[in-house]
Amino acid sequence: MAIELSRSRVIASLAASLVWSGGAFGAERPNPEKVLKALQPVQKDVQIDRPSGSELAKCTIELADNDTTWVIRDAGGQILRRFMDTNRDKKVDQWCYYKDGVEVYRDIDTNFNEAADQYRWFNTAGTRWGEDPNEDKQIDSWKSISAEEVSAEVVAAIRDRDRARFERLLLTPKELKTLGIGKAKSEQLLKKITAAAGGFNALAAQQKQFTPETKWVSFGGNLPGLVPAGTEESTADLVVYENVAAMVETAGKPLPITLGTLVRVKDAWRLIDVPVIADENTADNENKSFFFAVQRTDRPEQQAGRPSDRAQELMKQLQKLDASGAATPQQHEERAELLEKLAKEADSRELRIQWYRQLADTVSAAVQSGAYPGGVEKLKTLQENLKTDPQDDELACYVQFRRMFAEHGQALSVPTADFQKIQTQWVEDLENFVKATNKYPDSAEAMLELAISQEFAGEDEQALKWYGAIEKGFPNSPTYRKAVGAKLRLQSVGRSIPLSGKTVDGKSFNLAAVRNKVVLIQYWATWCEPCTSDMPLLEKLRSKYGKSGFEVVGVCLDTNKADMLKFLRENDPGWPQLFEEGGLENRFAVEMGIMNLPTMILVDKQGKVVNRNIRANELDGELKTLLK
């Protein structure tokens, strides 16, 4: 085993070195020195013990925990690493790293495919818990993060001009809906968080105070406050931090920044606004209160890192237009013109692209809602203008894809629409788009649309072709894991499938552990009327065949857990229910590529799929055969 071994090769080697019965080593004990050098935390800047020189050569490796864990220790016996196989499939799925004998960080593979999809910090390293469902080694969302850690992440995002890192910290519209905030306040918050992403681009591009050497020093803020239920029509208590600040340091020179208000969502704190970097000569920072309305007026709002005067004026006009609440075709036209002017005013290519993308997204959505019929022509003109510059080819494709959706939605809205003809044209347009733009991320989205269309049309081979094209050509695309899951589902008959997790009452469930039972997996949601309508029949069949070995397990794909719990309190069918955040994008939906509800999969007593898309009225006949 060479020192330069890749992570996957080391993992495979660790597994291959074990004989999993009797606790004996296989042909060769792993070399601790080589393993320590090859296996490093996925996330950067993790402070762990890294022995070197002669100390590295003295490290030892041993089996523990009934031969499911490799433990590496230094010469004094202090633990350095643990590599664990938690499901006994002979593959490492958790990589634990230590500092001073205490675990500080862990990479976790929750779907047991040898790639980490969660990252956790422990003990002296903090409380962060990041999720990476597409397994591209980039955190997509924070399941847990403290206010202090948010401030440190903001500093890193500004320093590195990393917009994605900043956006992971923002309150999302989906989360906003769960907080029970009154309508007026919710609308204000939505506008702030919508504008924040673009505002960050301007801040990062124009600020001069942060350099690659800038580092986070400390968190500043008073005690968090509780906004009680009933405040401005709110329906739930809300915990917030107002006037949060952070101190940074560059080349020994301190500088404060204001983060404003943070909102707590479960175990994570969220930003609602763009940070403000104080002028270097300013003694303190700007008070930015949102919920408690404490404002300061004793000094001007002039701050470093702000957009140009012209850009600020355009953004004010945009904010005023959005605040009007109306959405006439004329107002959509005005908004599109403002966004286009902001794109032309941008002093960096990144910011220019961001404004144009926002323009394409908002116009396409407005057309599909029927509020802006003229938006299709707007998108066509923008697309043609962008195509004149080869450097804008990818951006032109981005606009083209949104125009296609706008045209498709507009065609479907016509009362006399020929749906079969429209669908045929849609598939043709998507195929032409893929042929012309197969090197850009939107091609993967187009392929997914094609695959879904072909699957719903019963053309499974064509659907598999497109899912496979995503798997092969776009491994870093957000659609990758969904496509891989859909392929698994379409080819699942006669095979075992993965399904494990926690039920809503906190119990562990693993389909692989269910033996000698026929199991129906019902993917459902409270908003899916056919799903809930099927449940009474499923209850009758479970009562009829339960003693013969028939069981049902539900996988709820609601976005809001409260909706599911309310439904189950009133209509509990009595079988196990699995749930994770994310709706149709959660782990359960992604790992089997669930594209539509209802979806029900029937598994025989040997754990093999016998029907991957069974209907409730087909079950009785199948069960009579399987349970005979």
Which residues are CB-neighbours of 539 under 8 A, at least 6 positions away? 573, 574
Q: Quick one: 311 and 408 in the same domain? A: yes
Query: Domain with 443 in it: what CATH number?
Result: 1.25.40
Number of H helices, E strands in the chain: 20, 21
The answer as to whether 162 is a domain residue is yes
Q: Quick one: 27 and 176 in the same domain? A: no
The predicted pLDDT at position 397 comes to: 93
The answer as to whether 200 is a domain residue is no
**pTM here?**
0.52
- From 305, 338, 357, the end of a domain falls on 305
The predicted pLDDT at position 10 comes to: 52
What Rg value do the Cα atoms of the chain yield, rounded?
Answer: 27
The answer as to whether 132 is a domain residue is no
150 neighbors 221 (Cβ within 8 angstroms):
no
- From 351, 386, 413, the end of a domain falls on 413
Burial class (CB in 10 A: 0-12, 13-18, 19+), 585: middle
CA dist 23 to 35, 80, 220, 507, Å? Answer: 20, 22, 52, 30
Of the pLDDT bands very low, low, confident and very high (cuts 50, 70, 90), residue 21 is very low
Q: Which residue range forms the structural domain that includes residue 469?
A: 418-490
Q: Quick one: 333 and 386 in the same domain? A: yes
Rounded CA-CA distance 66/597 in Å is: 42
Structure tokens at 92: 């490492």
Rounded CA-CA distance 417/410 in Å is: 10
Which residues are CB-neighbours of 343 under 8 A, at least 6 positions away? 352, 355, 356, 359
Query: Is the pLDDT score of 293 beyond 90?
Result: no
Rounded CA-CA distance 117/110 in Å is: 7
Query: Domain with 586 in it: what CATH number?
Result: 3.40.30.10
Rounded CA-CA distance 597/607 in Å is: 23
Structure tokens at 62: 């041993």
The predicted pLDDT at position 208 comes to: 83
Total of domains in the chain: 5
Burial class (CB in 10 A: 0-12, 13-18, 19+), 163: middle
The answer as to whether 107 is a domain residue is yes
The answer as to whether 139 is a domain residue is no
Structure tokens at 414: 């016509």
Q: Quick one: 593 and 556 in the same domain? A: yes
Q: Quick one: 166 and 289 in the same domain? A: yes
Query: Is the pLDDT score of 387 beyond 60?
Result: yes
Closest Cα partner for 175 from 588, 562, 596, 626?
Answer: 562
Q: Quick one: 157 and 244 in the same domain? A: yes
Q: Quick one: 175 and 280 in the same domain? A: yes
Q: Quick one: 337 and 472 in the same domain? A: no
Q: Tens digit of pLDDT for each residue in 259-281?
A: 989 999 999 999 999 898 865 44
Q: Tens digit of pLDDT for each residue in 216-270?
A: 888 877 778 889 988 888 898 999 998 888 888 888 777 888 898 999 999 999 9
Distance of CA 413 to the CA centre of its chain: 31
The answer as to whether 213 is a domain residue is yes
pLDDT averaged over every residue in the chain: 86
The answer as to whether 481 is a domain residue is yes
158 neighbors 275 (Cβ within 8 angstroms):
yes
